[in-house]
Amino acid sequence: MRGEVARDHRIFQGIPYAAAPVGDLRWQSPQPVTAWRGVRAATRPGDRCAQSTDLWGLPASDSEDCLYLNVTVPRSATPRRPRPVMVWLHGGSLTKGAGSDYDATRLTTRGDVVVVTVNYRLGVFGFFGHPGLAGNGAYGLEDQQAALRWVQRNVAAFGGDPRNVTLFGESAGAHSVCAHLASPTAAGLFHRAITQSTFCSQTAFTGSRLRPVVDLPMWVPKAAHEAHGATTATALGCTDPKTAVTCLRGKPVSKLLAQEPLALPGYGNAVLPADPATVFAQGRFHRVPILTGITRDEGTLFTALIFPGLTEQGYQEGLRHIFGDNAAAIAAKYPSRGRPTQAVAAIMSDLDWAWAGRASDRMLSEHTPVYSYGFADRTAPPIFPLPGGVEPLASHGSELSFLFPGAPLTREQRKLGDMMITYWSRFAATGDPNAPGLPRWSPVRTGHVHRLAPGPGGVGVYDQDALHELAFWDRLSSH
């Protein structure tokens, strides 16, 4: 295989890890790739998995031949001197994105790790179900596990250590990491996990009087995917249950992309035989060390999309609709001050993310080492521009540019990025993020959350409870 060689790293792009899931392989488990003869050029990324364009203009794709990965390697790594491996699952609501959107050179060279970025089937192609299909709602997860098996078989030839693999992702990619923590078929495929801007369980709301602002399930049963798939089949004219799957496999990509996907991981299949919520609550997940965290202002991106142009009247009515008798207390704690969308963003950041995430972290830490962070740079460049009237602050995904080169950073931000890369790569190497010369990061079981912000004193203990009004939400939950 011929890649590209730079002064301090090597990169191999567009490596197929499974056969193209086209024709009869649409909505099938990933199949082995056909071996090639001679030297394969690995100098360009493979196609993005089929997806429509989005509000920010990320490229669309009509390709189903997309199961490719990219490997970035420190120049000095060899099979005799293998490096820890970090496998990245991209975000994008399980409907957008590609592994090649992330430049891993800085993480590779500064962290001295091998980084693998992965494409996987998305939307209606990756998370689809129908009564006539096996694997309902989990084809994208199966792809990710196929990529992890490729790593086990092949990464040593690139200078990576298959016995030391960290699975990490952000947003929907982190959601996928949680799925693999709960998946029996992922056993032995990775040895540490990093989840950025998600949490693996919503146990905080179990038995509580509170509900999240955006009340969506993390996992859906097989029956829900099958019902949604049957509706999709009818909409596309595939009305005979006996031939519906064959009919759907004959539909062009564009017709399927036009359908509303149920882009949530499904359970009741080989990958997730049980509801992951139950698996985590019972401690039956893969007990590998976990590094996890959120940004200070996770809610700004979502409220800008969900509640554009929100008025003061709409804000008050929404509080009453969601929180009932608690609405007045919440309005007093989160006054709109003429910016109701920003107020909703603060509620969502504190309740949906920080309060729920704290409960998840504590639950996981009963069984395995967990290290939690709060990314608190409110001047960080957002990954997407937000509509006027919404201040991004430390928005969802804003930490990504500190790990992967993207938006320009200030000198102090770049120093923070260097520290984060050291923490992340040290965790990948040892299961503990601590490294000489960096502020001590204690595990969650000690009550510690680690603050990540630029400037003097920016990295250290994070008073999560105070910054996110968690005592207030604790009181409301119990009354």
- Where in the sequence numbering do the catalytic residues fall? 171, 298, 396
Q: Which of 15, 196, 5 is nearest to 105 (CA)?
A: 5
- Helices vs. strands in the chain: H and E counts, helices first: 17, 13
Q: Are 297 and 349 in contact (CB under 8 A)?
A: yes
Task: State how far Cα 146 lies from the chain centre.
Answer: 18
Distances from the Cα of 184 to the Cα of 193, 273, 394, angstroms: 15, 8, 35
Strand 192-196 and strand 160-170: the pairing is parallel
Phi–psi pair at 144, nearest 5 degrees: -60, -40
Strand 68-74 and strand 9-16: the pairing is antiparallel
d(Cα 51, Cα 128) in Å, to the nearest integer? 14
Q: DSSP letter at 73?
A: E
d(Cα 479, Cα 476) in Å, to the nearest integer? 5
Residue 244: partners with Cβ closer than 8 Å, 6 or more residues away? 130, 132, 230, 233, 238
How big is the CA angle at 112 (ends 110 and 114), to the nearest 5 degrees?
A: 120
- Position 436, amino acid: P
Strand 160-170 and strand 460-461: the pairing is unpaired
Q: Are 380 and 394 in contact (CB under 8 A)?
A: yes
* Run of H or E including 423: helix 411-430
**205 C-beta neighbours (distance < 10 Å), count:** 18
Collapsed DSSP state (helix, strand, coil) of residue 163 = strand
- Position 17, amino acid: Y
User: Residue 102: left if φ>0, alpha if ψ -120 to 50, beta else—which one?
Assistant: beta
**Helical segments of 205-334, H only:** 222-235, 244-249, 253-257, 276-281, 299-306, 312-323, 327-333
